[in-house]
Structure 1
Amino acid sequence: MHDGHDMLVSMSGISKSYGGVHAVRDVDFTVRAGEVHALLGENGAGKSTLMKVLSGEVRDYRGEIRISGQPVRLDSPADAHRHGVAMIHQELDLVPALSIAENIWLGREPRTRVRSLDRRRMLRDTRVLLDRTGAQLDPRRPVEQLRTGEQQLVTIAKALSLDAQVLIMDEPTSALPSHEVDQLFTVITQLRRAGTGIVYISHRMDEIGRIADRASVLRNGVIVARFDARRLTATQASEAMVGRPVHQLFRTGPAATDGERAELLTVRELSVRQRRPRVGRREPDGVSLRVRAGEIVGLAGLLGSGRTELLETLYGVGAPGRWQGQVLLRGDPVRPRSPRHALRLGIAFVPEDRRIAGLALEQSVLANTVLSVLGRIARLGVVPHGTEQRTARDMVRRLDVKLGSLRDPVGSLSGGNQQKVVLGRNLLTGPSLLLLDEPTRGVDIGAKAEIYRLLGEVARRGVGVLLASSEPAELVGVCDRVVVLHDGRTVRELDASQVTEAELLAASMAASPEGEPLVGER
């Protein structure tokens, strides 16, 4: 095995700002040959920006980068490739309709002496690369026929074809089942032995202990802690990422006792099997939870845990699939067949990506606000202008949406005000159950506080809320209880008033008990 002491990458004083906001500030980061260096941090901590600098995707940065001791300037991914650095993104950049070989050599196809495509050599070289990853695959096979784990190995083979000395892996196991994770780790171990340096970005602490040598923690664009990954505990890492244990942050008011609230939603061992499984999705596979009227229940879990898929299932989004288990609404069995059906049942849904799934950006604030209740306020198929204006104006005032006019395109509003419009439109339907997926993603702290206040008001009126979030502070501060999902199933339920952010983060990572190392012998 490589001794791991040769410095492949040295980043010194790296800084990058967007509009005056520091994404990373004066960061020092190194990668040695034959080691796995884990990069940890919450969403927005600066991990992606730092690695985009190293991979050449961000060019206007300050600081110095040395590759194998030589100062370099990386102004494009092609520059990074020439210096032996390749990044494997979480969203795999493969062309589904092309074969494995065509994907690996896309834009760099081997040619014969007469400049025609040398297909024989391309297939031969692809087999060599696939052998290095342990993938038993036919190079002629279309990528769209591969499982997610197999596609991951193809991206590694593509990186190896660039003679990469440094591999950056961004959440490589987020959509992989456990057996494919094991195969990936076998490949990583082989790469380490060959002297490849690997930057490993992950939220899964059990993986960090298994595979990494060192770990660095980014918070607010600054490296705040460095650890020996082999001795790192989940609690140490979580508290470094969060900054401090915060109790009752954003608490919206005293919760009613269980005896005062009727059970609204009951989910028992829900599993969904799709006829055509969708790549990268984690359908419910043994989810059990309950939401009482007037209660805010959080959904925690890592990327790929199945939070979004559960909410979409409850709202009737996508193919219906084959259900096992039971969903009860006010004690009656239900199975939403479509969003329209879910709304009739009293279920409303605020999706994660408001700009794609939540808003018609070119339409006015007025049109977006009343869209969900046009049928209710129309008379003989015609919507009275005064009623439409009054309905939208009342909701905009209630949510304190900042705008010039109801006629303004909703796309002209800030992210926080756009999110309030989506939320208001759903509240106009008069739901008894409100489903929220990352309701404060991409909004400023002021808008967050207003949304939290509104959710407290909604809950006090007796609406049940099921809220999925990747922010531990949000779940701890806003929710009464938090249900933790992992691989599509319920693994824990926590009292939000009795848990810290760090403890919740550790639970989401399926981490070891406090104080115990995350891994034993290698």
Structure 2
Amino acid sequence: MSDYILEMNGITKQFTGVKALDDVNFKVERGEIHCLIGENGAGKSTLMKVLSGVYPYGTYEGDIVFEGQIQQFNEINDSVKAGIAIIYQELALFPDLTVYENIFAGNEIRKGPFVDWNETIVQASKMLKKVKLNVDPETLVKDLGVGKQQLVEIAKTLSKNVKLLILDEPTAALNENDSENLLELLKELKAQGITCIMISHKLKEVISIADKATILRDGKTICTLDAHKGEISESVIIKNMVGREIEDIYPKRVDHKVGETVLELNDWSAYDPQLARQVVKGANIHVKQGEIIGVAGLMGSGRTELALSIFGNPQNYKLQGEMKVNGQRASFKHTSDAIKAGIAYVTEDRKGNGLFLIKDIKSNVTAAHLKGISSRGVLNLNEEVKVGASYKDSLHIKANSLEQLVGNLSGGNQQKVSLGKWLFTGPKILILDEPTRGIDVGAKFEIYTIMNELIREGLSIIMISSELNEIIGMSDRIYVMAEGAIKGELSKEETTQEAIMELATQ
């Protein structure tokens, strides 16, 4: 007989007449790692917000049964007291406080009316050992990398005697080493009796760590797969997530023609005065019309710095070397110069730097090229609507209307808006920095299809990606970077994961 620590039965949640969750059933056995997966907008985060009390009892239909008791959580503190903790992608830490202060923030150890800081440091050290984080508890959180901050967040939850730990895309912002360390930690927590629910778009992670995986689609429970019965595989997950089989996640190109060289860098270097070091060292690359050029490398290898140095140098690096655009020497003093020359850059941080989350779709799409909807310095709002509608249709942006706030869209649809924003500038060279980070497999397929359409129309794409399969599956040629330098160039025929990693670790 199964020992369920959690049962969510018949959960239905509506927003202004739209069913975000429709009779969802979700069961988690004690001591397992259970992955919750589905496309963006499938209802995963909504379900977890119901569970954690963000959406309080009475705002949804159905029952939450935790440790055999029906629960009525009216706020997050109610679920925390019951032993449920959730860690979101955006970590809830105080950067200017120490590690030990963060671990016990809101849960202070007291001696009479005062906080016992000595005991706090002792207990924080114990929590850090549990998560295998070897740092001084008096370190400021802002001085830690993202991977270590993630572990501090987990230590914080463990200090509250958590029984069920929920992680929402925990590895989205981590490099491969930090991701592997985190997954190993989850296995150790499982051995200590802590049950985990993990939301993830990374299918390899799901396959490697999940005991079970429940798939949601369009707010409904599709199925629960059991790893111990051999039911969890990439093809089965994809089929159930998107409702169809995607034989090849990287769509084939039709009538693919490569033209003349459109961008060339010769002995190109960038020095960062703030870091007091070179972030790009003597790079030599060329990009032809109709090509997708992949730029691979580990975190910190200089990939984004290379992109920014091309795109008008917004970080004010000290640049050396030669850049040619369409055979002519080019020197950009500002990003606007790069845009005029036909270069666009879709940032890896769409929420922080790429989009105005509190503005609607049409405002975001036209934001980088207001002259395109202006006459004598006055915005033509009718033209703004036409442009927004055009990109909403052509990029298949799923939204109720053009007036929908971008912050309320799924990750995949936000990425399409970001892409539309830069396509409206009329680029010839499009730099995509981590174009599918944090989006599901169905949205990835759509982004890849759009990329193929763009190069068929004559655009050139420089794609930076940490996903080796993506780099290999989409690129015509690949440059591999390490420590700011181009370590090698690989043709499609000679590219393997091993070949990339060998160059990336030189």
Q: Does 88-97 or 486-495 show the bigger shift?
A: 486-495
Indicate the percent of aligned positions where both proteins have the same amino acid. 28
Q: Alpha-carbon deviations, 1:273-315, whole Å to 9, x = none? A: 96778xxxxx999x9998655x5969999xx999988865643
Counterpart position of 1:18: 15
> Would the alpha carbon gap of residues 155 and 338 (structure 1) be closer, same or farther in structure 2, given more than 3 Å must change?
same
Normalized against structure 1, the TM-score is what? Answer: 0.67
Which residue of 1 is the match for residue 175 of structure 2?
177
Superposed counterparts of 1:197-276, under 5 Å: 197-229=195-227, 231=230, 232-245=232-245, 257-258=256-257, 261-265=259-263
Question: What is the Cα deviation at residue 267 of structure 1?
Answer: 8.2
Could you say what secondary structure the match of 1:173 adopts? coil
Which residue of the partner structure matches residue 466 of structure 2?
Answer: 486
Cα distance in 2 between the residues matched to 1:326 and 1:90: 40
1:312-364 CA-to-partner distances (Å, cap 9, x unmatched) read 5643464255899997532457675631331243324567759975669899x
1:43 aligned partner: 40
Give 1:240's aligned amino acid.
N
In structure 1, distance between residues paired with 2:305 and 2:26: 36
Corresponding residue number in structure 2 for 1:78: 77
In 2 relative to 1, CA 312–488 (structure 1 residues): closer, same or farther, beyond 3 Å? Answer: farther
Q: Return the letter of the residue paired with 2:122.
A: R
Q: Structure 1 residue 494: deviation in Å? A: 3.4
- Spell out, residue by residue over 1:68-105, the C-alpha distance to the aligned partner (whole angstroms, 9 max, x if none): 11100122110110110000111111000001111111
Distance 1:9 1:397 in 2: 47
Question: How far apart in 2 are the matches of 1:214 and 1:269?
Answer: 51
- 2:152 corresponds to which residue? 154
**Is the Cα–Cα contact under 8 Å of residues 247 and 477 in structure 1 kept in the other structure?**
no
For 1:10, the aligned partner's letter is E
Counterpart for residue 485 of structure 2: none
The change in CA–CA distance for 1:495 and 1:358 in structure 2 (over 3 A counts) is closer
Residue 479 of structure 2 is matched in structure 1 by: none
Match of 1:475 in 2: 447
Q: Deviations over 1:490-515 (max 9, x none)?
A: 7314399xxxxxxxxxxxxx99xxxx
AA at the equivalent of 2:12:
S
Match of 2:96 in 1: 97
Partner residue of 2:118?
120
User: Deviations 1:94-144 (Å, cap 9, x if unpaired)?
Assistant: 00000111111112222212x122111111111121121122222221111
Distance 2:79 2:451 in 1: 44
Provide closer, same or farther for how the CA distance between residues 372 and 28 of structure 1 changes in structure 2, counting only shifts above 3 A: closer
Tell me, yes or no, if structure 1 residue 441 matches structure 2 residue 414: yes
- Aligned-partner Cα distance in 2 for 1:52–1:236: 27
Given candidates 4, 22, 28, the residue that maps to 1:31 is 28
Report the aligned-residue RMSD: 5.1
Distance 2:326 2:431 in 1: 15
Cα deviation per residue 1:257-279 (whole Å; 9 max; x = unaligned)? Answer: 515x44434689999896778xx
User: Shift of residue 157 of structure 1?
Assistant: 0.9
Residue 337 of structure 2 aligns with an amino acid whose one-letter code is H
Instruction: State the AA in 1 paired with 2:387.
Output: L
TM-superposed deviation, 1:246: 6.5
3-state secondary structure, aligned to 2:107 = coil
How does the TM-score come out when normalised to structure 2? 0.69
- Alignment CA distance shift 1:238-1:265 (3 Å): farther
Distance 1:386 1:326 in 2: 37
CA distance in 2, matches of 1:34, 1:323: 54
Matching residue of 2:387 = 399
- How do 1:363-374 and structure 2 match up within 5 A? none
- Please tell me whether the aligned partners of residues 65 and 71 of structure 1 are also in contact (alpha carbons under 8 angstroms): yes
Per-residue displacement from partner, 1:121-173 (whole Å, max 9, x unpaired)?
Answer: 11111112112112222222111111212111111111011111000011112
SS at match of 1:152: helix
Deviation (angstroms), 1:37:
0.2
Equivalences, count: 436
2:238/2:245 contact within 8 Å kept? no
Give 1:153's aligned amino acid: L
User: Highest relative contact order (Cα 8 Å, sep 6+), 1 or 2?
Assistant: 1
- The answer to whether 1:67 aligns with 2:55 is no
Distance 1:350 1:225 in 2: 36
- Distance in 2 (alpha carbons) for counterparts of 1:300 and 1:78: 45
On the 8 A contact 1:36/1:199 being kept in 2, the answer is yes
Q: 1:167 matched to which residue of 2?
A: 165
**SS of the counterpart of 1:63?**
strand
Map of 1:501 onto structure 2 = none
The one-letter amino acid of 1:28's match is N
| Alignment partners' CA distance in 1, 2:14 and 2:295 | 30
Q: What CA deviation, in whole Å up to 9, does each residue of 1:385-442 have, x standing for no partner?
A: 96445x847954863769xxxxxxxxxx9546999xxxxxxxxxxxxxxxxxx89529
* Structure 1 residue 211 displacement after superposition: 1.6
SS in 2 for 1:74: coil
Match of 1:9 in 2: 6
Whole-angstrom CA distance in 1 between matches of 2:209 and 2:266 = 35
> SS of the counterpart of 1:210?
helix
Structure 1: runs of 5 or more not aligned: 278-282, 378-384, 403-412, 420-437, 497-509, 512-522
State the one-letter code of the partner of 1:491.
I
Q: Which residue of 2 aligns with 1:342?
A: 338
Q: CA deviation at 1:370?
A: 9.5
Q: Give the Cα separation in 2 of the matches to 1:210 and 1:325.
A: 45
Amino acid at match of 2:79: A
